[in-house]
Structures are given as structure tokens and as C-alpha cells.
Amino acid sequence: MSIKAEIMKSLKTEILTLKLKPGAILSETALSERFRISRTPLRDVLKQLSLESYIDIYPKKGNLVSFIDLESVEQMIYLRSVLEKEIIKALSAHLPLKGVHELREILDKQQAVIDEDEDSERFLGLDDAFHQSLFQLAGREFLWNLIQQTSVHYARYRRLHMLRKEKLVDIHNEHQTILEMMMHKELDQLDELIDHHLREDINSRYLQENFSEYIKA
Ligand SMILES: [Zn+2]
């Protein structure tokens, strides 16, 4: 990987995991010292991060980690719920046994995280793994990857919601229900379930009360 690609990757990870918080200033001086890179290639990295909505570049204020844009979150939830409903319908018509095992294994691991009270970071990774498996099993991994490239706002929004421990049990139960629905081909409640699962009320008081400083005004 080129140096620029490596720096890009570290900064993206730090932004997505909220180590670098929305609104944090990314000073060129500090970054060029930290990564031992000169200004010109660093600016290329920053420009790319800005094109991908990870940061916003202001002529006077400098480079700021982007605030979470709830409009973008809403659009991403819409896209995912439309796709995932279709994917689950397709899978319920033909769900290979291998897929059942794969999904069960992920659910067991999620249960273990809940039981052992591990951090929600691991749970979040397993949540992605569950949804990614659905896309893969339906032959739609290309779309999964496409979505990942544009979900900087949605990814951070989800991470904030999962800081609440009680959410994890709900999420695990809903995954369980999704799997059972596919296995028994009982899809009457599917739309409702997926809407609830993906659409955590995006203007929720929880977010406004605890993280309003991260939200784009
Ligand atoms: Zn999920």
C-alpha cells in the first residue's frame, strides 16, 4: 500500500470509530509531523477525504471532521431497507444450508459478546458481518461494498446508537427473527421488521440529548 493510501486508511478508521470526533480539527502541521509526510501529498489525502465526506475543508477554519448528516443517514437507511427486504425475500426462496450455518455462527458470537459484556465495538463488527453475509449469500456483495464506500455518516450514527447496551439484545433478537423468517418462508412481518431494525428513529431524543454536538445543524 502506498504511504498516501495508508494515511487515508488510518484517518478513515479513526473517523469511523469516532476516535476523531465530528468537528475535530485536522491540522496540516500536526498530521505532517505525525505521518512524516510533506504538505503536498498530505493535501491530496485531505482532498480525497473531503470528496468522500469524511472531512470538510473550510478556507479559514481549516479541515474539520465532518458532522454527522442525518439527511444522508436517512437516505442510506432507505437504500438499505429497500435492498435488504428484496435480498431476504430472494434468500427465503433458496437459502443454502451453508448460509444458515454461517448466519447462526455470527448470531452465536453476538450472543457471546452480550453474555460476556464485551465492548460494543466487536458487536458492531458482527452486526456488519450478519448483513454482509445476507448480501453475499444473495450474490450482491458488489452492492454491499458500494454501500460501504458511502456510509461515513450512517456508520457513525449506528456506532453512537450501539453505545446503549440494552440495544444489543434487541438487535440480536431481530437478527434471530430474520433468520427464522427466511428458514420458514414466513415473510408477512418482514417489511415491518426490517424498517424497525434499520430505522432506529433518526431524530431520537437519545441522539439529540447525548450527541447533539456531533450532528450537522
Ligand atoms: Zn443488524
Q: CA 110, 133, 159, 122 torsion: positive or negative?
A: positive
CA of 197 to the centre of ligand 1 (A): 6
Task: Write down the pLDDT at residue 118.
Answer: 75
pLDDT in tens, 25-73: 999 999 999 999 999 999 999 999 999 999 999 988 899 999 999 999 9
CA of 19 to the centre of ligand 1 (A): 23
What CA–CA distance (Å, rounded) separates 89 from 180? 12
Task: Write down the pLDDT at residue 203.
Answer: 66
Task: Write down the pLDDT at residue 209.
Answer: 84
Residue 4 has, within 13 A of its CA and on its CB side, a CA count of: 12
pLDDT in tens, 152-161: 999 999 888 8
CA of 40 to the centre of ligand 1 (A): 41
Task: Write down the pLDDT at residue 162.
Answer: 80
Number of H helices, E strands in the chain: 11, 2
What CA–CA distance (Å, rounded) separates 138 from 12? 28
**Which residues of the chain does CATH 1.10.10.10 include?**
3-65
70-214: CATH homologous superfamily?
A: GntR ligand-binding domain-like (1.20.120.530)
**Which residues of the chain does CATH 1.20.120.530 include?**
70-214
CATH number corresponding to 3-65: 1.10.10.10
Name the region of 186 (left: φ>0; alpha: ψ -120 to 50; beta: rest). Answer: beta
CA of 76 to the centre of ligand 1 (A): 14
Q: Which residues of the chain have pLDDT under 70?
A: 201-203
CA of 175 to the centre of ligand 1 (A): 6
Task: Write down the pLDDT at residue 86.
Answer: 97
Following CA atoms 5, 10, 16, 19 in sequence, which dihedral angle do they give, to the nearest 10 degrees? -160
